[in-house]
Amino acid sequence: MSHELTFQEEEYSRQLDFALWRRILRHAGRYWKQLLALSGAGLTVATVDVMLPLVTAWIIDEAMASGVTPRLWTYVVLYFGLCALLCSCIWLFIELAGQTSTGIAYDLRRKGFRRLQELSFSYFDVRPVGWLVTRLTSDVTKLSSLMPWFTLDLVWGSFLVLGITGAMFWLNWQLALAVLVIVPPLSIASVYFQKRLLASSRNMRRTNSMITASFSESISGVRTTKALVREEENLNEFRSLSTAMHQHCLRNALQSAVYLPIVVTLGSLGVGLALWRGGVDVLGPDSTLTLGVLIAFMQYAALFHMPIEELARRFTDLQAAQAAAERIQTLLDTEPEIQDSAEVRSRMAATAPHQAAGASNLAEDGCADTVRRIEFRNVSFWYKPDEPVLRSFNLTVEPGETIALVGATGGGKSTIVSLLARFYEPQEGEILIDDTDYRERSLHWWQSNLGIVLQSPVLFTGTIRENIRYGRLDASDAEIEAAARLVNAETFIRELDGGYEFDVGEMGSRLSTGQRQLMSLARAVLADPRVFILDEATSSVDTETEQLIQDGINKVLSGRISFVIAHRLSTIRAASRILVIDGGEVVEQGSHDELIRERGRYHDLYVGQFARQREAERLSGGEETGMAGA
Ligand SMILES: Nc1ncnc2c1ncn2[C@@H]1O[C@H](COP(=O)(O)OP(=O)(O)O)[C@@H](O)[C@H]1O
Ligand SMILES: [Mg+2]
């Protein structure tokens, strides 16, 4: 529960967490050269920024005192040289910052993606997909673009403040003190408003993402909405979201509208102070200040607010990105709940050289490469601690057996096969493969022995052929077509535009669920695994096609261990053993004939379904007979 909350509302910590940022900075470690160069560029720009008013002062004073002299020309050349240096530095840091941020983004995405692939099912049970996608997209973008610019501005800003202050004191300390009067109010105003602006833009962003979610829900759920006549309610919800958005935007605009004039006014105040104090000095009888120096002071005073404002902004950015940093770091730190134990890993390391030399017929974890018997021994399992799904479940599967699991929805059938596939591990008891607990075997070895077809299979963007080949990457075209033929998928593939080269669309969206199931079945057949798991694998295939593929499937299943969960009981009559599962327990088991004879639960289920099917056939068949008679 505590999990779910954090996914809905993003929490922002108030204080900067330096330990976290140090860890985040480590991800940028590969780019230390770029970051160093960026700091160099920042330092150079700050120096040039301090130099330009000085050179201006020299030019003015030289021209006023002695007219056009060679020295004046030197100053002018120096001035343009500094301008050119400034331009090249700006070009350099835009280039460097771009390189660094794309590099860091690439690294973080790759690390995050890999971690997501390693994580166990239980991790995804409690996290919405959208939340995970945001981690890899906007959080990464936020962090990676922040790092180089923060580095640059930190160096540039601090050196510019120091440089200007130093230069002013060097020129005239009394005037410097007068100008510095604006610094405290400027800093206070900057920090105050940057915080307010941060809060209001956060609200804007949050509301915006709610609007996006509302858009996409209403688009993908448009049929349901219409069917339930919910258009009006949805519109009202959307209207109130839009109103909130409007208010947040207004507040943000208002804050900017107040903040900018304040900064500009304070800056002008500094210039005014310099002009007033200095002007008196320049015009005074015993003038200690030249006109050039006065102008330099005014430029410094006008410049002063820039680094202060920029530093305040970057630190608020840092604070704003802290939540993103926390989320990314937490994702990268999450260890998969299910992974090979240290002992298995060391056995695998010891076996690897033998395998590479081709001198081993053992599995990659150094144990025998066979799957003969599978045993569930006193297995207990729950998704949530207070809701046990399986309690002391026992099942022994002998070589070549086909085990059918039947029973009402929610009985625990899918859970049993998920445990078998080690998508989850039992909390109590063991699952044994040839008498070895599967936690003592390599996860990769075990899962590569399984052919799993689920009720809603996932296809990937690409052609029919590519999708079937996913089962075994080195399969030939002929093998792919043979697999498709075996599961009777070729009939529909031939009718598609382009046949095997037909593009299935994003996640197979251009195929029906039944067609996707056939594809997934062909994929599993091609992989030729030792153990098959079919969880309602043909539930969306029409009855006739199902009858047609039944022979093919039975041929594939014969001689290997398989687990079949089928909605239509007619498809599992040939199973070696049928288990009726209810409330996580086996309430009946035996062959089809035995269970029918017993006249228990299975008998009732079967007769009920059979009667319904007969009724459906009678209705549709009746029509046909009528037509034929006419
Ligand atoms: N990922 C999950 N998280 C939490 N509860 C789950 C999850 N999957 C299944 N359950 C619960 O476990 C029980 C058994 O479900 P399942 O194994 O899918 O049954 P069946 O396949 O027989 O319909 C149900 O009460 C279901 O709500
Ligand atoms: Mg199920």
Choose between 622 and 629: higher pLDDT: 622
Over residues 392-396, mean pLDDT: 94
- Going from the C-alpha of 488 to that of each of 3, 117, 522, 547, the distances in angstroms are 45, 32, 9, 10
Output the pLDDT for position 620. 74
Looking at residue 382, its amino acid is W
Which of 277, 304, 331 is the C-terminal boundary of a domain?
A: 331
- Is 497 in the same domain as 523? yes
Residue 506 lies in a domain: yes
pLDDT at 615: 82
Residue 193 sits in the same domain as residue 267: yes
Which residues span the domain enclosing 614? 376-449+532-540+561-630
In the predicted model, is pLDDT for residue 113 greater than 70?
yes
Report which protein residue has its CA nearest ligand 1's atom 18: 414
- Indicate which residue's Cα is closest to atom 14 of ligand 1: 412
Condensed to tens digits (0 to 9), the pLDDT of residues 288-329 reads: 788 888 889 888 988 888 898 899 888 888 888 888 898 899
Q: Which of 122, 124, 415, 417 to mutate to test the pocket of ligand 1 (most atoms within 8 A of CB)?
A: 415
* Strand ordering across the sheet containing 374-384: 387-397, 374-384, 428-433, 436-437
Ligand 2: centre distance to CA 390 (Å): 14
Q: What distance in Å separates the CA atoms of residue 488 and residue 520, rounded to the nearest whole number?
A: 12
- Chain Cα centroid distance, residue 126: 14
> What average pLDDT does this structure show over 474-490?
93
The answer to the question of residue 125 being in a domain is yes
Residue 535 has pLDDT above 80, yes or no: yes
Examine the domain organization and report whether 436 and 489 are in the same domain: no
Which ligand approaches the C-alpha of residue 455 most closely? 2
Tell whether 423 and 460 lie within a shared domain.
no
Atom of ligand 1 nearest to the CA of 409: 23
Other Cβ atoms within 10 Å of 197 Cβ, number? 17
Among 161-165, 377-381, 538-542, 563-567, where is mean pLDDT lowest?
A: 538-542
pLDDT in tens, 593-621: 999 999 999 999 888 888 887 887 788 76
Distance from Cα 125 to the centre of ligand 2, integer Å: 15
Mean per-residue pLDDT of the chain: 88
Pairwise CA distance, residues 538 & 566, whole Å? 8
Ligand 1: which atom is nearest the Cα of residue 408? 22
Residue 624: predicted pLDDT: 45
Least confident of 277-291, 412-426, 481-495: 277-291
Residue 53 has pLDDT above 60, yes or no: yes
Helix axes of 543-557 and 477-486: crossing angle, nearest 10 degrees: 120
Closest ligand to C-alpha of residue 127 is 1
Instruction: For residue 303, give the 3-state DSSP assignment.
Output: helix
Question: Does residue 49 sit in the same domain as residue 137?
Answer: yes
Is residue 549 assigned to a domain? Answer: no
Q: Which atom of ligand 1 is nearest to the CA of 581?
A: 22
- Give pLDDT, residue 8: 45
Predicted local distance difference test score (pLDDT) of residue 13: 55
Ligand 1 center to residue 415 CA distance, Å?
6
Each as own residue / partner, the long-range contacts of residues 70-74 (CB below 8 Å, 24 or more positions apart, any chain) are: none
Name the nearest CA neighbour of 147 among 97, 184, 190: 97
Instruction: Give the model's pLDDT for residue 621.
Output: 66
3-class DSSP state for residue 347?
Answer: helix
What would the pLDDT profile of 193-206 be if each residue is shown by its tens digit? Answer: 888 888 888 888 88
Half-sphere exposure of 235 (CA within 13 A, CB side): 5
Provide the domain count of the chain. 3
Q: Is residue 363 part of a domain?
A: no
- Do the domain assignments include residue 356? no
Nearest CA residue ID for atom 1, ligand 1: 125
**pLDDT value at residue 626:** 39
What's the 584 CA to ligand 1 centre distance in angstroms?
10
254 within a domain of the structure (yes/no): yes
> What's the pLDDT at 2?
37
Could you write out the three-class secondary structure of 445-457? HHHCCEEEECCCC
Question: In the chain, pLDDT over 90 holds for what percent of residues?
Answer: 53
Average pLDDT over residues 239-245: 91
- pLDDT of the residue at 14: 63
Output the residue whose Cα is nearest ligand 1's atom 4. Answer: 383
608: CA distance to ligand 2 center in Å? 20
Beta bridge partners of residue 406, listed in sequence order: 580
In a domain, 345, yes or no: no
Query: In CATH, what number is assigned to the domain containing residue 596?
Result: 3.40.50.300
Tell me what pLDDT residue 9 has: 42
Residues 32 and 124 placed together within one structural domain of the fold: yes
Taking the C-alpha atoms of residue 168 and residue 161, their distance in angstroms, rounded to an integer, is 11
Total count of residues recorded for the chain: 630
Query: What's the rounded Cα separation, in Å, for the pair 374 and 398?
Result: 7
Q: Is the pLDDT of residue 42 over 70?
A: yes
Residues 66 and 180 reside in one and the same domain = yes
Q: What are phi and psi of 468, to 5 degrees?
A: -70, -40
Residue 519 scores a pLDDT above 80: yes
Instruction: Report the pLDDT averaged over residues 506-515.
Output: 89
Cα of 410 to ligand 1 centre, how many Å? 6
- Which residue's alpha carbon is at the smallest distance from atom 17 of ligand 1? 412
Pocket test for ligand 1, best of 4, 383, 533, 579 (most atoms within 8 A of CB): 383
Name the residue at shortest CA distance from atom 7 of ligand 1: 383
Bridge partner residues of 582 (DSSP):
585
From the CA of 210, how far away is ligand 2's center (Å)?
A: 32
Taking the CA of residue 418 as reference, the ligand 1 atom at the shortest distance is: 17
User: If you take atom 3 of ligand 1, which residue's CA is the nearest one?
Assistant: 383
Query: Nearest bound ligand to CA 423?
Result: 1
Tell me, in angstroms, the distance from the centre of ligand 1 to residue 416's CA: 10
Q: Is the pLDDT of residue 6 over 50?
A: no
Task: Check whether residue 477 and residue 571 sit in a common domain.
Answer: no
Mean pLDDT of 566-572: 84
CA atoms within 13 A on the CB side of 542: 5
What lines the ligand 1 site, CB under 6 Å? 125, 383, 389, 409-415
Q: What angle do CA 329, 333, 336 make, to 5 degrees?
A: 140
Listed residues 276, 299, 331: the one ending a domain = 331
Question: Nearest ligand to the C-alpha of residue 583?
Answer: 1
Q: Ligand 1 pocket check: which of 414, 417, 539 to mutate, most ligand atoms within 8 Å of Cβ?
A: 414
CA nearest 360: which of 346, 372, 347, 371? Answer: 347
622 band by pLDDT with thresholds 50, 70 and 90: low
* 596 CA from centroid of ligand 1 (Å): 28
- Can you tell me the mean pLDDT for 361-385? 92
Q: Nearest ligand, CA of residue 409?
A: 1
Point out the ligand nearest to the CA of residue 389. Answer: 1
| Same domain as 168, residue 113 | yes
Tell me: do 144 and 76 sit in the same domain: yes
8-22, 85-99, 187-201, 567-581: least confidently modelled range = 8-22
Query: Of 10-19, 39-48, 454-463, 501-510, which has the strongest mean pLDDT?
Result: 39-48
**567 CA to centre of ligand 2 in angstroms:** 10
Tokens of 76: 């002018």
What is the sign of the dihedral through the CA atoms of 257, 259, 264 and 266? positive
- Stated as kind and residue range, the H or E segment containing 331 is helix 305-333
Q: What is the mean pLDDT of residues 242-250?
A: 92
pLDDT reading at 229 higher than 90: no
Distance CA 558, CA 498 (A): 33
Q: Which residues contact 385 (CB under 8 A, 6 or more apart)?
A: none
pTM of the complete model: 0.80
**Six-digit token pair at 195?**
């915080």
Q: Which residue minimizes the CA distance to atom 21 of ligand 1?
A: 414
Compute the distance from residue 392 Cα to the ligand 1 centre, in Å: 17
> Which ligand places an atom closest to the C-alpha of 456?
2
DSSP, collapsed to helix, strand or coil, labels residue 176 as helix
Q: Which of 273, 307, 331 is the last residue of a domain?
A: 331
- Smallest CA separation from ligand 1 atom 6, residue: 383
Beta strands across the sheet bearing 450-453: 450-453, 531-535, 561-565, 402-406, 577-582, 585-590
Question: Considering the domain boundaries, does residue 151 fall inside one?
Answer: yes
Ligand 1: distance of its center to the CA of 411 in Å?
A: 8
Nearest ligand, CA of residue 580? 1
Name 554's bridge partners: none
Same domain, 500 and 536: no
**Which H or E run includes 578?**
strand 577-582
Instruction: Give me the CATH number covering residue 209.
Output: 1.20.1560.10
Residue 473 has φ and ψ, to the nearest 5°, of -65, -25
| Ligand 1 atom index nearest CA of 121 | 1
Residue nearest to atom 10 of ligand 1 (CA): 383
Quote the ligand 1 centre to 362 CA distance (angstroms).
36
* pLDDT confidence of residue 625: 42
pLDDT of residue 12: 53
What's the gap in Å between 388 CA and the centre of ligand 2?
A: 16
Tell whether 129 and 102 lie within a shared domain: yes
Atom of ligand 1 nearest to the CA of 412: 17
568-574, long-range: CB < 8 A, 24+ apart:
568/538, 568/539, 568/543, 568/609, 569/406, 569/605, 569/606, 569/609, 569/610, 570/609, 570/610, 570/613, 571/538, 571/546, 572/404, 572/406, 574/402
Q: Rounded mean pLDDT of 103-117? A: 93
